[in-house]
């Protein structure tokens, strides 16, 4: 029965070896299947042309592809492409292709919905539906990689786990997806081209250090005092700045990787020089760089970007402290594809 079939992308290679031995096939067939799954991005057994028709039929009897499919695409005036993906159970997620003059970036989701309720993020106003599997995350990357080639004739250069959901609350599947993306037997991308962004789950940040991950880590900060941050990000109530500082230092000591702090400057909330100084005092405690991000309005709140003069004064204060500061301008705002705007709207 179809219900009893296992998702082929959820099967470990050793288990595939056992499967092939049990049906009287050579165990190297498992390696061939894995190459089709993770290096070539196959999404059907019929594509596995170096397997006999009989072997493909046996695989089809026991396994299935719980893959994602493109449900809708939107194209921005700045060449950003937002894709709504439908998963095998009907749940919807969004992923974004972000092209610039220097790179082609895939922004991928790790959950359908989110449980953290950050005030500035549209996904936070959705209910959490479920975690994505490693295969579903990987399939987003493959689909966006194909878009980059089809529309712009370029290879995917970077991946950011900054789409829908909190990656560190789907820890196992996120790391498994990165393993396949970076493996020579998978997509072969450098882990230094991958950034995982978290709202700040301290114990999981420490686990990243224990697991000696090679990818980059970004902390969604947005205020460097607990009272303000808790108003914007309820997760701060259980993961205070002091606790996060300890976790970030632990991560750095284990991995040697500088952490990126992400900070949106909101009008009349965190846009004063005092706020900039608090950010500096926080940033200097751990080797970091700071990305100042433009706010992208959503329908669920009345937050606004800081005024231009206050924004510039804020950035200038950080620059005067010799911090590494980058100002990131939004891409894809006209199609609600920019940072914080991803959500799945209910059909009318």
Residue 116: both structure tokens together: 């953290």
130-131 and 216-220 beta bridge pairing: unpaired
12: helix, strand or coil: coil
263 in helix, strand or coil?
strand
CA distance 245 to 274: 20
Burial 81-100 (b: 16+ CB within 10 A, else e): bbbbbebeeebbbbbbbbbe
Q: How many CB atoms lie within 10 A of CB 293?
A: 21
C-alpha–C-alpha distance, residues 257 and 213, integer Å:
9
Residue ranges and CATH numbers for the domains of the chain are 2-64 (1.10.150.530), 69-335 (3.20.20.70)
- Determine phi and psi for 281, rounding to 5 degrees: -60, -35
Q: Shortest CA distance to 318 belongs to which of 286, 275, 287, 266?
A: 275
* Residues classed as catalytic: 94, 339
- Residue-by-residue pLDDT tens, the chain, 348 positions: 345 789 999 999 999 999 999 999 999 999 999 999 999 999 899 999 999 999 999 999 999 999 899 999 998 888 899 999 999 999 999 999 999 888 999 999 999 999 998 888 888 788 899 999 999 999 999 999 999 999 999 999 999 999 999 999 999 999 999 999 999 999 999 999 999 999 999 999 999 999 999 999 999 999 999 999 999 999 999 999 999 999 999 999 999 999 999 999 999 999 999 999 999 999 999 999 999 988 877 777 788 888 999 999 999 999 999 899 999 775 555 555 445 444 555 443
Tokens of 338: 């920019």
Q: Which residues pair with 99 in a beta bridge?
A: 104
CB-based contacts of 291, cutoff 8 Å, min separation 6: 218, 260, 261, 262, 263, 326, 327, 328
The structure tokens listed for 42 are 């196959």
Secondary structure (3-state) at 141: helix
pTM exceeds 0.85 for this model: yes
């Amino acid at each position: 029965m179809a219900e009893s079939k296992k998702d082929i992308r959820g099967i470990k290679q050793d288990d595939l070896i056992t499967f092939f031995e049990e049906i009287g096939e050579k165990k190297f067939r498992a390696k061939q299947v894995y190459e089709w799954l993770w290096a070539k991005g196959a999404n059907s057994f019929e594509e596995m042309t170096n397997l006999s028709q009989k072997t493909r039929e046996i695989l089809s009897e026991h396994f299935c592809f719980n893959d994602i499919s493109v449900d809708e695409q939107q194209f921005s005036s700045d060449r950003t492409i937002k894709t709504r993906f439908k998963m095998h159970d009907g749940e919807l997620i969004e992923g974004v292709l972000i092209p610039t003059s220097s790179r082609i970036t895939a922004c991928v989701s790790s959950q359908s919905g989110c449980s953290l309720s950050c005030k500035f993020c549209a996904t936070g106003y959705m209910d959490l539906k479920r975690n994505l599997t490693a295969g579903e995350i990987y399939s987003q990357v493959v689909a966006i990689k194909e878009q980059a080639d089809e529309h712009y004739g370029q290879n995917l250069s970077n991946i950011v786990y900054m789409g829908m959901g909190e990656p560190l609350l789907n820890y196992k599947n996120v790391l498994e997806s990165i393993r396949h993306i970076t493996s020579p037997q998978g997509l072969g991308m450098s882990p230094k081209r991958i950034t995982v962004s978290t709202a700040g789950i301290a114990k999981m940040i420490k686990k990243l250090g224990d697991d000696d991950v090679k990818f980059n880590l970004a902390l969604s900060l947005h205020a460097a005092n607990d009272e303000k941050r808790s108003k914007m990000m309820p997760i701060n109530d259980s993961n205070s700045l002091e606790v996060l500082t300890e976790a970030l230092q632990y991560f750095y000591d284990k991995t040697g990787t500088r952490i990126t702090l992400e900070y949106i400057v909101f009008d009349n909330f965190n846009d004063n020089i005092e706020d900039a100084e608090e950010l500096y005092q926080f940033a200097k405690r751990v080797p970091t760089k700071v990305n100042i991000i433009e706010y992208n309005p959503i329908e669920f709140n009345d937050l606004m970007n800081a005024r231009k003069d206050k924004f510039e004064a804020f950035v200038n204060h950080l620059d005067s402290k010799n911090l590494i500061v980058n100002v990131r301008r939004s891409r894809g705002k006209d199609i609600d594809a920019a940072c914080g705007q991803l959500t799945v709207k209910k059909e009318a």
